[in-house]
Structure 1
Protein backbone atom coordinates (compact mmCIF):
# COMPACT_ATOMS: atom_id res chain seq x y z
CA UNK A 1 0.00 0.00 0.00
CA UNK A 2 1.36 3.41 -0.98
CA UNK A 3 1.68 6.02 1.78
CA UNK A 4 1.26 9.76 1.17
CA UNK A 5 1.53 12.70 3.54
CA UNK A 6 -1.32 15.22 3.41
CA UNK A 7 0.88 17.88 1.77
CA UNK A 8 2.07 15.41 -0.89
CA UNK A 9 -1.50 14.27 -1.52
CA UNK A 10 -2.73 17.84 -1.93
CA UNK A 11 0.09 18.66 -4.33
CA UNK A 12 -0.49 15.60 -6.53
CA UNK A 13 -4.13 14.71 -5.96
CA UNK A 14 -4.91 13.83 -9.59
CA UNK A 15 -1.97 11.45 -9.76
CA UNK A 16 -3.01 9.69 -6.55
CA UNK A 17 -6.63 9.45 -7.65
CA UNK A 18 -5.51 7.82 -10.89
CA UNK A 19 -3.68 5.20 -8.85
CA UNK A 20 -6.81 4.60 -6.75
CA UNK A 21 -8.91 4.24 -9.91
CA UNK A 22 -6.44 1.60 -11.04
CA UNK A 23 -7.16 -0.37 -7.86
CA UNK A 24 -4.39 0.79 -5.56
CA UNK A 25 -5.00 1.82 -1.94
CA UNK A 26 -3.34 4.96 -0.55
CA UNK A 27 -2.68 5.43 3.18
CA UNK A 28 -2.83 9.15 4.08
CA UNK A 29 -0.62 10.31 6.94
CA UNK A 30 -0.25 13.49 8.96
CA UNK A 31 3.06 13.82 10.77
CA UNK A 32 3.66 10.12 10.03
CA UNK A 33 0.40 9.12 11.74
CA UNK A 34 -2.18 7.36 9.53
CA UNK A 35 -5.38 9.39 9.32
CA UNK A 36 -7.21 8.04 6.25
CA UNK A 37 -7.16 5.48 3.51
CA UNK A 38 -8.14 6.12 -0.11
CA UNK A 39 -9.64 3.01 -1.67
CA UNK A 40 -11.49 2.33 -4.93
CA UNK A 41 -15.26 2.56 -4.77
CA UNK A 42 -16.81 -0.81 -3.94
CA UNK A 43 -17.46 -2.78 -7.09
CA UNK A 44 -14.65 -1.25 -9.12
CA UNK A 45 -12.17 -4.03 -8.46
CA UNK A 46 -14.83 -6.69 -8.75
CA UNK A 47 -15.79 -5.25 -12.13
CA UNK A 48 -12.20 -5.28 -13.32
CA UNK A 49 -11.72 -8.81 -12.03
CA UNK A 50 -14.92 -9.81 -13.80
CA UNK A 51 -13.54 -8.40 -17.05
CA UNK A 52 -10.30 -10.30 -16.53
CA UNK A 53 -12.29 -13.50 -16.03
CA UNK A 54 -14.12 -12.86 -19.30
CA UNK A 55 -10.79 -12.22 -21.00
CA UNK A 56 -9.38 -15.53 -19.70
CA UNK A 57 -12.44 -17.27 -21.14
CA UNK A 58 -11.78 -15.62 -24.49
CA UNK A 59 -15.07 -13.68 -24.43
CA UNK A 60 -13.59 -10.17 -24.43
CA UNK A 61 -10.29 -8.54 -25.25
CA UNK A 62 -9.14 -5.78 -22.89
CA UNK A 63 -7.51 -2.68 -24.34
CA UNK A 64 -3.75 -2.44 -24.31
CA UNK A 65 -3.19 1.15 -25.31
CA UNK A 66 -4.70 4.52 -25.96
CA UNK A 67 -7.36 5.44 -28.49
CA UNK A 68 -6.14 6.65 -31.87
CA UNK A 69 -5.88 10.39 -32.37
CA UNK A 70 -9.18 11.72 -33.71
CA UNK A 71 -11.21 8.81 -32.36
CA UNK A 72 -13.85 11.06 -30.79
CA UNK A 73 -14.34 12.90 -34.09
CA UNK A 74 -15.29 9.75 -36.02
CA UNK A 75 -18.90 9.62 -37.27
CA UNK A 76 -21.29 7.73 -35.04
CA UNK A 77 -24.56 5.94 -35.67
CA UNK A 78 -27.57 7.87 -34.47
CA UNK A 79 -29.72 6.53 -31.65
CA UNK A 80 -32.72 8.90 -31.68
CA UNK A 81 -34.66 6.93 -29.08
CA UNK A 82 -31.61 6.64 -26.79
CA UNK A 83 -31.94 2.85 -26.71
CA UNK A 84 -28.22 2.30 -26.25
CA UNK A 85 -27.98 4.82 -23.43
CA UNK A 86 -30.95 3.27 -21.67
CA UNK A 87 -29.53 -0.24 -22.00
CA UNK A 88 -26.15 0.83 -20.62
CA UNK A 89 -27.77 2.76 -17.75
CA UNK A 90 -29.95 -0.23 -16.89
CA UNK A 91 -26.96 -2.58 -16.96
CA UNK A 92 -24.91 -0.29 -14.75
CA UNK A 93 -27.75 -0.13 -12.24
CA UNK A 94 -27.92 -3.92 -12.08
CA UNK A 95 -24.18 -4.28 -11.55
CA UNK A 96 -22.11 -7.27 -12.57
Structure 2
Protein backbone atom coordinates (compact mmCIF):
# COMPACT_ATOMS: atom_id res chain seq x y z
CA UNK A 1 0.00 0.00 0.00
CA UNK A 2 1.33 3.40 -1.00
CA UNK A 3 1.46 6.13 1.63
CA UNK A 4 1.56 9.89 1.22
CA UNK A 5 1.73 12.88 3.51
CA UNK A 6 -0.94 15.56 3.24
CA UNK A 7 1.28 18.04 1.39
CA UNK A 8 2.43 15.43 -1.13
CA UNK A 9 -1.13 14.20 -1.62
CA UNK A 10 -2.35 17.74 -2.30
CA UNK A 11 0.48 18.35 -4.77
CA UNK A 12 -0.06 15.08 -6.65
CA UNK A 13 -3.76 14.44 -6.04
CA UNK A 14 -4.54 13.49 -9.65
CA UNK A 15 -1.71 10.94 -9.71
CA UNK A 16 -2.86 9.33 -6.46
CA UNK A 17 -6.49 9.25 -7.58
CA UNK A 18 -5.44 7.44 -10.77
CA UNK A 19 -3.71 4.83 -8.62
CA UNK A 20 -6.80 4.43 -6.46
CA UNK A 21 -8.98 4.17 -9.55
CA UNK A 22 -6.68 1.35 -10.75
CA UNK A 23 -7.39 -0.54 -7.53
CA UNK A 24 -4.56 0.54 -5.24
CA UNK A 25 -5.03 1.87 -1.72
CA UNK A 26 -3.27 4.99 -0.46
CA UNK A 27 -2.58 5.58 3.21
CA UNK A 28 -2.72 9.29 4.09
CA UNK A 29 -0.38 10.40 6.86
CA UNK A 30 0.00 13.54 8.95
CA UNK A 31 3.54 13.94 10.27
CA UNK A 32 4.10 10.23 9.72
CA UNK A 33 0.94 9.09 11.52
CA UNK A 34 -1.82 7.40 9.49
CA UNK A 35 -5.03 9.43 9.44
CA UNK A 36 -7.00 8.14 6.44
CA UNK A 37 -7.04 5.60 3.66
CA UNK A 38 -8.12 6.23 0.08
CA UNK A 39 -9.76 3.15 -1.40
CA UNK A 40 -11.64 2.57 -4.66
CA UNK A 41 -15.44 2.35 -4.53
CA UNK A 42 -18.07 1.31 -7.03
CA UNK A 43 -21.36 2.98 -7.87
CA UNK A 44 -23.20 4.15 -4.75
CA UNK A 45 -20.23 3.46 -2.52
CA UNK A 46 -20.42 -0.31 -2.96
CA UNK A 47 -17.35 -2.23 -4.15
CA UNK A 48 -17.37 -2.89 -7.89
CA UNK A 49 -16.50 -6.43 -9.02
CA UNK A 50 -13.84 -5.15 -11.42
CA UNK A 51 -12.30 -2.90 -8.78
CA UNK A 52 -12.35 -5.74 -6.28
CA UNK A 53 -10.57 -8.00 -8.78
CA UNK A 54 -7.99 -5.25 -9.37
CA UNK A 55 -7.41 -4.86 -5.63
CA UNK A 56 -7.03 -8.59 -5.11
CA UNK A 57 -4.71 -8.77 -8.11
CA UNK A 58 -2.54 -6.01 -6.64
CA UNK A 59 -2.35 -7.85 -3.30
CA UNK A 60 -1.40 -11.06 -5.09
CA UNK A 61 1.34 -9.31 -7.08
CA UNK A 62 2.74 -7.95 -3.81
CA UNK A 63 2.83 -11.51 -2.49
CA UNK A 64 0.39 -10.74 0.32
CA UNK A 65 -2.27 -13.22 -0.79
CA UNK A 66 -2.64 -16.17 -3.12
CA UNK A 67 -5.91 -16.27 -5.04
CA UNK A 68 -7.83 -19.52 -5.13
CA UNK A 69 -8.23 -21.40 -8.38
CA UNK A 70 -11.81 -22.54 -7.94
CA UNK A 71 -14.90 -22.56 -5.79
CA UNK A 72 -15.82 -24.73 -2.86
CA UNK A 73 -17.10 -28.25 -3.54
CA UNK A 74 -20.89 -28.72 -3.60
CA UNK A 75 -22.27 -29.03 -0.07
CA UNK A 76 -19.01 -27.95 1.59
CA UNK A 77 -20.68 -25.47 3.91
CA UNK A 78 -23.32 -28.03 4.92
CA UNK A 79 -20.75 -30.55 6.17
CA UNK A 80 -20.48 -31.13 9.89
CA UNK A 81 -17.46 -29.52 11.49
CA UNK A 82 -14.94 -31.66 13.34
CA UNK A 83 -15.30 -31.71 17.10
CA UNK A 84 -12.99 -29.52 19.16
CA UNK A 85 -13.65 -30.67 22.72
CA UNK A 86 -10.64 -28.78 24.12
CA UNK A 87 -11.53 -25.54 22.29
CA UNK A 88 -8.06 -25.37 20.75
CA UNK A 89 -9.16 -22.92 18.07
CA UNK A 90 -10.69 -20.60 20.65
CA UNK A 91 -7.55 -20.80 22.80
CA UNK A 92 -5.32 -20.01 19.82
CA UNK A 93 -7.46 -17.01 18.87
CA UNK A 94 -7.38 -15.67 22.44
CA UNK A 95 -3.60 -16.12 22.66
CA UNK A 96 -3.12 -14.31 19.37
CA UNK A 97 -5.35 -11.47 20.56
CA UNK A 98 -3.30 -11.12 23.77
CA UNK A 99 -0.03 -10.98 21.78
CA UNK A 100 -1.31 -8.23 19.46
CA UNK A 101 -0.36 -4.65 20.34
TM-score, scaled relative to structure 2 = 0.45
Greater CA radius of gyration, 1 or 2? Answer: 2
